[in-house]
Chain A
Amino acid sequence: MSTARVPRAKILCELCHDRKAIMKRPKNLQKICKECFYHVFETEIHNTIIDANLFQRGEKVAIGASGGKDSTVLASVLKTLNERYDYGLELVLLSIDEGIVGYRDDSLATVKRNQKQYDMHLEIVSYKDLFKWSMDEIVACAGVRSSCTYCGVMRRQALDRGATKLGISHVVTGHNADDMAETVLMNLLRGDTGRLEKSVNILTESSGSPVKRSKPFKYTYQKEIVLYAHYKKLDYFSTECTYAPEAFRGTARVLLKNLEAVRPSCIIDIIRSGEQLKLRPKKQRMRVSAVAQEVEVKRDGSVSLKPESSNTCERCGYLSNNRICQACFLLEGLEKNRAKVLIEGGNTAIAGAAKITRELEALSF
C-alpha cells in the first residue's frame, strides 16, 4: 500500500522572509536561503578584511592554493570581493608541491583548473627543487610520525620563497575559524606561552621578513566553507593528506568537533577567548653585565645570536634567529640518515602510500 506523500510546509528564510530556506547556518543555526547565505558569508569576510585593514590598493597578493576546499573558496571569494568592493588587488595563485605522489599531484591538477577558471597567474614551488627532498622521501627516511613537523617548517619557507620569487610581500592562506580554535586549544594543552597570545592573530609578520601572511577566513566556519563550495559548485579536491596528522592534535580536534555538536558557537567563543588571553608581565630579573652574559648553546651546537647580529640562516639565507634555520636543521638530520644505496623497487614508501591507495582504488574485479 502506498501512502501519498504529504508536502512539507515551505520554511521561509529567517533573514529575507521571502525565499525558501534551504539550509541551517552552521554558525548560529539560522534557517536561511541560498542568496542570503552567499550574502552573509561574503560580507562577513569583507568585514574581517576591512576591519583588520588587510589589503592596500594596488597590492599584489598571493593566495596559498592547495586545491582543497579552503583555498579554492578563498580564491573564489577574494576574486568576487576584489571586483565587488574594488580592492584594487592583483591576485596570484601560489602552490606548494610537497612531493606526495597520489595526493599532491591530483590536487595540483585541481589548482591548474582553478587557474583557468579564475584567470589568475599560478606559481608552483616544489620541496624537491627547494630542499632536494620530497615529502615521500622524508617519510621513507624519518617515518610518518614526524611528517607534519617537517612539512610545516618547509611549507612556511616554501611559501615565503615562492612569494619573494614573484615579488609579492603578502600571502593569504585558507586557515578557517575551526583551525584558529584548534590552535588556541593546542597552545593551551601544550603550554606554549610563546605562541599563546598570538594564536588568533589575523596578520603575522616576522621582523626582517619581506613576506607577511594573513587569514581572511579567521571567523569563517569550516562547515560554511564546504557549503559555499557545494552550492557554488566550485571545483576542489577533497582528499585529506595521506600522512596521518599528529596524534595529540587529533584528540583536540575530536574535542572541538564534539563541543561544536553541542554548542555551535563554541568555535567563535574559543577565538574570542584566544583574543583575550594575555600573559602576566614577567618579573624583572636582575640585569647581568654584558661581559658576563651567558650564551645559550642549543642541542645541535648552534648558539642564539645577539640582537645586533644578522638574523638570517648562514646556509640558505632564510630568516632565522639561530645560526641555521629550522628547515636546514631538520634537513641536516635527514641527510645523515639518507640511504647511500637504494634497492630498485625495494622501498615502496618512497613512491608514496597515497599512490598505492590510488592504484588499489582503480582496481576492478
Chain B
Amino acid sequence: MTNKQARNMSEIGQTCRRCKNEEAVLISRKEPFCGACFVHFIRGKQRKSMMSDDFKVKYGAKEKEITKVLLSLSCGSSSLVLLDSVVSMLKEQAIQHRSRQGFELVVAIIDTPSQQTLKPKEFIQKFKESVETSNLSVKFKIFEMNSMNISKDEIQTLKIDTAFQLDVLPSEIEGDSMTLTELLDQFSSKSTKQDFASAITRKLCFGMAKSLDCGFVLLGHSMTRLAVEVLSLTVRGRGSEIGDALHDGEVSSESGLRVIYPLRDVLLSEIEQYIRVQNLTHLVPLESPEYPKRLLRNSSIDEMIWDYFKDVGTNYAEVVSTVVKIGDKLTSVEVGNPCKICGELVADDPSHWLRKITVNEPFCDETVSVQSPDSSRSKPSSDEVHQTICYACIVNMVIEPADQAQWPRKTSFESDVLEEYIIDDDD
C-alpha cells in the first residue's frame, strides 16, 4: 500500500469536511467528502458554468423567449453525469419557481455503431427509471448514424498528388449511396478513423442543435478529456484548432450557436466517483483500476494519450489542469478557406509547407538514367486548380495505402436534411 493510499484510507474514516456531520466516503482533491456533499460539489461546478440569465427562470416569458439547450449525450460516463446534474438543476428550478423551468432541455444522442454501452433507447429507459424526469420539459432525440444515406451525386473522389495537393474527381462509388459508417470504413488507420469520426460527430451535434432550434450546446467533456483533446489535436497537426475546440462560446459568428463545457473543472476520476455515489453504474460500466494495458501497435493516438494521462496522473496530478488552462488560452484560425474534408478553416497552404520539408525527387547522376516513376499517385500539373485541404487531412490521406477516398461535397450537415433522420424517443 502506498503512502497516498494509506492516507486516503485513514481519512475516509473521518467526517465530511463540508457538512461536518456525515462520514466521509471518498477523498477528492485531498478533501474527505460524504456522498451528498460530493454530488453538491460536482453539481456546483456545472451550475457555475450555467449561471447566466439565459438559464434562469423568466416570469412572464413567452414560449419563444425560453432558451432551448441541447445536451449531447454519448452514453458515456461524463455526459451521463452532466445529464444527471442538469436534470437536478431543472428540478430545483421547478421546486423553487412553482413548476417553471429556466430552459428547455433537449438530449441528443448520436447512435454510432461502435457504441460499446447500452443502445440509446435502452439507455434512456433505464435513465428515466433511475432519475425522475416526467414533470420536466426534457426531450430525448436520437440520430442513428447509419440511417442517413449520402447519395452518389453528393459524393466526390478526393485524391492527394505527389505534391500533397488535393484533386477532386467525380464519385467512384459502386452503389447509389453511402452511409457515414461506410465513409469512415474507407480508412485503415484507427487514428484517421477517429479523427474523421470526431469531426463528423461534432458537426452532426451542431447540425442537430440548429435543426432542433437550440441556441446552446452542452458538451460533457471532463477536464481529463479536454486535456487529451489538447494533446491529441497537437499530435494530429491540428494545433490551430485547439482554441475553438476548448472555448466556451460561439461555434461560429454566423451560426449563433454557443457551446458550453460545464464539466471542464471536473476530473475523470471525480466523474467516476459521482456515478458510484449516485448509483448510476448500471448505465455506464466503469473501468476497473487494474485495466488491461492496450497493445501499443493496436492503439490510436487518442488512446495513447488517455493512457499517458492515466499513468502520469499518479505522480504529476496537476498536469491535466495545466494542459487545459494553456489550451484555453490559445486562439484559432479566424480567416481562411474551409478544408474540403473536415471543414476547418485553412489560413495558409499546408501542401507548400510539406513540399519544402519533404523532398520526393530522386538523386540523379550522369551514370544512371532515372526512370519515370510508376507512382500510383498522379503527378501534379501546374495549370490545375487545387482544392483547399488542411494539414491534418493531407497527413490522414497520405498515410493510407489507398490513394483516394470518397467524401461528401458538403462538410457540414444542413439542418433541414438532418431533420428527417432525427427520431423522438417516443417514436
Give residues in A with beta carbon < 8 Å to B. 13-19, 27-28, 33, 35-36, 38-40, 43-44, 47-48, 51, 184-185, 188-193, 196, 219, 248, 251, 255, 258-259, 261-263, 265-266, 268-270, 272-281
Smallest CB gap from B192: residue in A: A263
Inter-chain CA distance A192–B147, complex, in Å, is: 46
CB distance from A38 to the nearest CB of B (A): 7
Q: Contact: B296 with A258, CB < 8 Å?
A: yes
Of chain B, the residue at the smallest CB distance from A266 is B235
Pair B359/A43 contact, Cβ less than 8 Å: yes
Q: A18-B371, A39-B359 are in contact. Are A261 and B297 (CB under 8 A)?
A: yes
Q: In the bound complex, do residue A189 and residue B235 qualify as a contact, i.e. CB atoms below 8 Å apart? A: no
User: Do residues B296 and A261 form an inter-chain contact, with CB atoms below 8 A?
Assistant: yes
Structural contact, B373 and A185, CB atoms closer than 8 A:
no
A35→B234 contact, CB < 8 A: no
**Bound CA–CA A138/B316 (angstroms):** 27
From known contacts A196-B326, A248-B316, A276-B239, infer whether A266 and B359 are also in contact, taking CB-CB under 8 Å.
Answer: no
Q: List 15 A-B contacts (CB under 8 A).
A: A15-B361, A16-B370, A17-B371, A39-B363, A40-B361, A185-B234, A193-B326, A255-B305, A263-B189, A263-B191, A266-B236, A270-B234, A270-B239, A273-B233, A273-B234
- Evaluate contact between B235 and A270: CB separation under 8 angstroms: yes
**Contact A43/B361 with A258-B296, A262-B297, A269-B392 known, Cβ cut-off 8 Å:** yes
B357 touches A262 (CB 8 A): no
- B369: A residues at CB distance < 8 A: 18
A17 touches B374 (CB 8 A): yes
Given contacts A219-B357, A265-B399, A280-B330, contact A190 B371 (CB under 8 A): no
Contact A47/B191 with A35-B365, A190-B322 known, Cβ cut-off 8 Å? no
CB of A193 within 8 A of CB of B399, answer no
Residues of B within 8 A of A251 (CB): 308, 311-312, 316
Say whether A268 contacts B301, CB under 8 Å: no
Nearest CB on A from B333, distance (A): 8
**Which of A19, A33, A266 is B301 in contact with, Cβ under 8 Å?**
A266
Q: In the complex, given contacts A262-B296, A273-B233, A281-B331, what are 6 additional A-B residue pairs having Cβ atoms less than 8 angstroms apart? A: A38-B363, A191-B326, A273-B236, A273-B240, A277-B330, A279-B331
Task: Decide yes or no whether B47 CB sits under 8 A from chain A.
Answer: no
Quick one: closest B residue to A50, CB to CB? B356
| Residues of B within 8 A of A (CB-CB), count | 60
In contact, A18 and B234 (Cβ under 8 angstroms): no
Contacts of A258 in B (CB 8 A): 296, 299, 304
Chain B residues with Cβ below 8 Å from A43 are 359, 361
Chain B residues within 8 Å of A14, by CB: 373, 375
Judged by a CB distance under 8 angstroms, whether B319 is at the interface is yes
Q: Which residue of A lies closest to B370 (CB)?
A: A16
Closest 4 CB pairs of A and B: A273-B239, A39-B363, A269-B237, A16-B362
Assess whether B56 is interfacial by the CB under 8 Å rule: no
Chain A at the B interface: SS class: helix
A39-B363, A269-B392 known; A280 and B243 CB under 8 Å? yes
8 Å CB contact of A188 from B240, B297, B308, B326: B326
Q: B382-408 CB contact bits vs A (8 Å, 1 = yes)?
A: 000000000110010011000000000
Given contacts A261-B296, A280-B330, contact A268 B357 (CB under 8 A): yes
Q: Are A265 and B299 in contact (CB under 8 A)?
A: no
Whether, in the assembled complex, B30 has its beta carbon less than 8 Å from a beta carbon of chain A, the answer is no
Is the CB of B358 closer than 8 A to any CB of chain A?
yes
Give Cα A44–Cα B357 distance, bound, in whole angstroms.
Answer: 5
- Kindly list chain B residues whose C-beta atoms are within 8 Å of the C-beta of A16: 362-364, 368, 370-371
Alpha-carbon distance A185/B327, docked complex (angstroms): 12
A47 touches B357 (CB 8 A): yes
Which of chain A's residues has its CB closest to B247's CB? A280
Residues of A within 8 Å of B371, CB to CB, are: 16-18
> What chain A residues lie within 8 Å of B333 (beta carbons)?
276
**Assuming the A-B contacts A189-B323, A193-B329, A273-B240, are A15 and B189 also in contact, with contact meaning beta carbons closer than 8 angstroms in the complex?**
no
Task: From A15, A266, A274, give the contact of B373 (CB < 8 A).
Answer: A15
Interface assignment of B10: CB less than 8 Å from any CB of chain A: no
A175 to B269, CA, bound (A): 38
Question: CA of A93 to CA of B170 in the docked complex: distance in angstroms?
Answer: 57
Contact flags B319-346 to A (C-beta < 8 A → 1, else 0): 1001101110111010000000000000
- List residues of chain A with CB within 8 A of the CB of B86: none
Are B235 and A278 closer than 8 Å at their CB atoms? Answer: no
Contacts of B363 in A (CB 8 A): 15-16, 33, 35-36, 38-40
Given contacts A191-B325, A272-B350, A278-B331, are A44 and B361 in contact (CB under 8 A)? no
Interface string of B159-178 (1 = CB under 8 A from A): 00000000000000000000
**How many whole Å from B67's CB to the nearest CB in chain A?**
27
Judged by a CB distance under 8 angstroms, whether B108 is at the interface is: no
Contact of A191 among B189, B323, B361 (CB under 8 A): B323
- A273 and B330 contacting across the interface, CB-CB below 8 Å: no
Chain B residues with Cβ below 8 Å from A44 are 357-359
Nearest chain A CB to B249's CB is how many angstroms away? 11
A47 touching B356, Cβ below 8 Å: yes
| Shortest distance between the CB of A325 and any CB in chain B (Å) | 27
Contact with A along B237-266 (1 / 0, CB 8 A): 111101100000000000000000000000
Tell me the nearest residue of chain A to B190, going by C-beta.
A262
Q: In the complex, which residues of chain B have a beta carbon less than 8 angstroms from the beta carbon of A38? A: 363
Q: How far is the CB of A253 from chain B (nearest CB, A)?
A: 12
Given contacts A16-B363, A262-B304, A263-B301, contact A273 B238 (CB under 8 A): yes
**Knowing A17-B373, A251-B308, A263-B189 touch, does A272 contact B326 (C-beta < 8 A)?**
no
CB-nearest residue of chain A to B327: A188
Whether B360 lies near A276 (C-beta < 8 A) is no
Give the distance to chain A from B268, nearest Cβ to Cβ, in Å. Answer: 17
On chain B, the residues within 8 Å of A36 by CB distance are: 362-363
Q: Is the CB of A259 within 8 A of B297?
A: no
Q: If the complex has contacts A189-B319, A265-B399, are A18 and B368 also in contact, measured as CB distance less than 8 A?
A: yes
